[in-house]
């Protein structure tokens, strides 16, 4: 059997333990899909796979037990899913056009969760549209609020929803609910002063607990959607580490721009000899220096006034 494993991998299949057998990986940007696609997955698994489906750690599906020779048929069956989930594709009917840039992960977000500060799936899909297909090994995750259920700090780009609490002093009756909840569940950024509440904006992490706790709507959510944006967290062998804060109170457009700029940066600086074309961005930044990265990343970016950029950034983590 002659199979180009490089092309197979690029097409979102994988080399498995069992010779001659592959598995198909289905990306679901934002981790949310209409239920009508589930029978299609079932059909692929039952027709060409071994009748099972794995839910991946990146919120996709992996259908194992597929014989290499059935890849074209599987790709055909994947077509309605690729189209239905609005995945960018180079050649229709030929499956996924790349696999390096991984599925964009998101917690359930404000379609369901009361804590979420935005529609995580919607934003994930927007990012997917902007970056896919691409062979570079980028991992992006979005989470609705600073609870970080999606563990975004373990990704190259972590996007955490925030809300800038708006205080209507005339509606405040000093019941103390916000001060108490901020202290107990969050960072203690609120303080009672003169029977009203003062917010320490530096301390505030925009979790929105005060808004949720307020019984009179003295606290409401800011109109603009703003985020905490973290950089270059990673798991893996050499130096697993958490992503560090890059920008607090950043907007969607800037996030997308910075991610796209980072693709250009990596394209220019990646070690051409990196095994499998995979070099984690963090190591590239170590090589070029953070300033160089920053110059590339911030090209043409117009941050909102409120944004706070943390620079330079130092990463910690476990070193082996």
Partner 1 sequence: MGFYFTKDGMNAVLKRLMDEYLVYAPIRMIGGGAFSDTNSVRYGQISKISDIIFNQKSEYSFKEILLPLSQTLFFFTEDQVKEAEAPKKGAIIFLRSCDLHAVKRLDEIYLRNGFEDYYYKRLRENVKFILLGCQNPFENCFCVDMQTNTIDTYDASIEQAGDGYVMDNHCNAWESLLSSHCLNQQDVQPSHVTETGVHVKIPDGLSIDAANSKMWDEYDDRCINCGRCNFVCPTCTCFTMQDIFYTDNGKVGERRRVAASCMVDGYTDVAGGGSYRKKNGQRMRFRVLHKVYDYKERFGYHMCVGCGRCDDICPEYISFSHCINKLESVVKEVGDNNA
Contacts with partner 1 by CB under 8 A lie at 110, 114, 116-119, 161, 163, 169-177, 193-195, 208, 211-218, 220-221, 223
If we measure between CA atoms, which residue out of 273, 247, 268 comes closest to residue 258? Answer: 247
Helix or strand or coil: residue 201? coil
Minimum distance of partner 1 from residue 169's CB (angstroms): 7
Looking at the Cβ atoms of 115 and 246, the one nearer to partner 1 is 115
The neighbouring-strand residues paired with 23 are 14
Looking at the Cβ atoms of 217 and 299, the one nearer to partner 1 is 217
Q: Are 120 and 108 in contact (CB under 8 A)?
A: yes
Q: In what order do the strands lie in the sheet with 226-231?
A: 105-106, 140-143, 157-162, 226-231, 244-250, 308-309
Looking at the Cβ atoms of 59 and 163, the one nearer to partner 1 is 163
Minimum distance of partner 1 from residue 53's CB (angstroms): 32
Looking at the Cβ atoms of 1 and 169, the one nearer to partner 1 is 169
Minimum distance of partner 1 from residue 104's CB (angstroms): 20
Residues with Cβ < 8 Å from 157, sequence gap 6 or more? Answer: 138, 139, 140, 141, 229, 230, 231, 243, 255, 259, 262
Minimum distance of partner 1 from residue 254's CB (angstroms): 19
Looking at the Cβ atoms of 54 and 111, the one nearer to partner 1 is 111
Return the number of other C-beta atoms located less than 10 Å from residue 68's C-beta.
15
Minimum distance of partner 1 from residue 164's CB (angstroms): 12
Looking at the Cβ atoms of 176 and 289, the one nearer to partner 1 is 176
Minimum distance of partner 1 from residue 275's CB (angstroms): 43
Minimum distance of partner 1 from residue 95's CB (angstroms): 35
Looking at the Cβ atoms of 22 and 143, the one nearer to partner 1 is 143
Q: Are 81 and 12 in contact (CB under 8 A)?
A: no
* Burial letters 263-280, b for 16+ CB under 10 A, else e: bebbeebbeeeeeeeebb
d(Cα 57, Cα 207) in Å, to the nearest integer?
26
Q: Ramachandran region of residue 36, left (φ > 0), alpha (ψ -120 to 50) or beta?
A: alpha
Cα-based distances in Å from 233 to 82, 139, 150, 239:
29, 9, 13, 10
Which tokens sit at 67?
């014989």
């Amino acid at each position: 059997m002659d199979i180009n494993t490089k092309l197979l991998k690029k097409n979102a299949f994988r080399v498995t333990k069992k010779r001659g057998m592959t598995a198909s990986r289905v990306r679901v940007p934002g981790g949310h899909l209409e239920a009508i696609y589930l029978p299609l997955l079932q059909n692929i698994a039952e027709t060409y796979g071994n009748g099972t489906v794995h839910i991946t750690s990146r919120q996709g599906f992996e259908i194992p037990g597929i014989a290499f020779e059935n890849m074209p048929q599987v790709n055909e069956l994947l077509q309605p899913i690729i189209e239905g989930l609005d995945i960018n594709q180079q050649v229709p009917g030929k499956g996924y056009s790349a696999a390096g840039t991984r599925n964009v992960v998101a917690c359930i977000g404000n379609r369901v969760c009361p804590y979420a500060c935005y529609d995580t799936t919607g934003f994930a899909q927007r990012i997917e549209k902007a970056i896919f297909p691409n062979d570079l090994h980028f991992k992006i995750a979005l989470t609705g609020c600073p609870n970080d259920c999606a563990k975004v700090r373990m990704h190259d780009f972590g996007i955490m929803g925030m809300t800038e609490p708006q205080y209507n002093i005339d509606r405040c009756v000093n019941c103390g609910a916000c001060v108490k909840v901020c202290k107990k569940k969050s960072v203690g950024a609120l303080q009672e002063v003169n029977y009203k509440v003062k917010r320490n904006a530096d301390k505030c992490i925009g979790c929105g607990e005060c808004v949720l706790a307020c019984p009179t709507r003295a606290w409401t959510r800011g109109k603009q959607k703003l985020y905490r944006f973290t950089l270059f967290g990673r798991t893996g062998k050499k130096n697993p580490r958490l992503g560090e804060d890059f920008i607090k109170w950043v907007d969607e457009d800037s996030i997308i721009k910075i991610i796209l700029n980072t693709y250009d940066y990596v394209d220019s600086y990646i070690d051409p000899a990196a095994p499998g074309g995979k070099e984690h961005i963090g190591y590239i930044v170590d090589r070029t220096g953070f300033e160089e990265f920053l110059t590339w990343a911030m090209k043409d970016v117009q941050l909102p006034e409120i944004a706070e950029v943390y620079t330079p950034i130092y990463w910690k983590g476990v070193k082996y």
